[in-house]
Amino acid sequence: MSLIEVMIAVLVMAIGLLGIAAMQTVALRNSQGSLERSQAVISAYAALEAMRANRDAALSGGYNTGGFICAGPGTSSLAAADTTAWINGWRTALGLAAADTSGCGNIACNAGTGICEIQLRWDESHASDAAAGGKVAGSTARIFRTKVQL
């Protein structure tokens, strides 16, 4: 009888440990998503500070990307160099390889109003739902948008 009690106690403890392991996995996955969202905020504000330092070029459209870009436009001007540094910094923060096109950014400034919108796009493919058999729950594409007036 004692042996059966011990076996039942071990079974209950094993189920509890499996639950703790699953909870830890979910916590790590959510922590990674939180880190990526924080990096998006930091990257957007870094671009905004560069644009504020070169306000005339920003208002004249020098920083506008014309859609999402995944590689910088080069270093032909200060605005292009800032944009290249910004997109490269964003991709580095995400830890993306050069061929990966999931980490991109977009800048659009309106010269008349002085309002600029920065968007950052990335893929949270690590955000899979274990309860759904490892399949991704919903869309994994994330976009962070911020709008400011220079």
Residue 1 forms part of a structural domain: no
d(CA 121, CA 143): 4
In a domain? residue 68 = yes
End-to-end CA distance of the chain: 77
**Per-residue pLDDT at 21:** 95
Looking at residue 141, its pLDDT comes to 84
Domain that holds residue 126: 22-149
The pLDDT assigned to 136 comes to 46
Sheet containing strand 141-149, strands side by side: 104-109, 115-123, 141-149
Burial class (CB within 10 angstroms; exposed 0-12, middle 13-18, buried 19+) of 103: buried
Residue 115 lies in a domain: yes
Task: Let me know if residue 64 belongs to a domain.
Answer: yes
Q: Which of 22-31, 35-44, 84-93, 104-113 has the lowest mean pLDDT?
A: 22-31
Pairing of strands 115-123, 141-149: antiparallel
Q: What is the DSSP letter of 96?
A: -
User: Which pLDDT does position 127 carry in this prediction?
Assistant: 59
**Strand spans (E) along the chain:** 104-109, 115-123, 141-149
**What pLDDT is attached to residue 82?**
95
Position 6 in a domain:
no
Q: Is residue 92 part of a domain?
A: yes
Residue 80, domain member (yes or no): yes
Per-residue pLDDT tens digits for 119-149: 999 988 765 554 555 444 556 788 999 999 9
Domain count across the chain: 1
Number of H helices, E strands in the chain: 3, 3
Tell me which of 29-38, 66-75, 95-104 is least confident.
Answer: 95-104
> Is there a domain that residue 109 lies in?
yes
Mean pLDDT rounded to a whole number for the chain = 88
Q: What is the pLDDT of residue 29?
A: 83
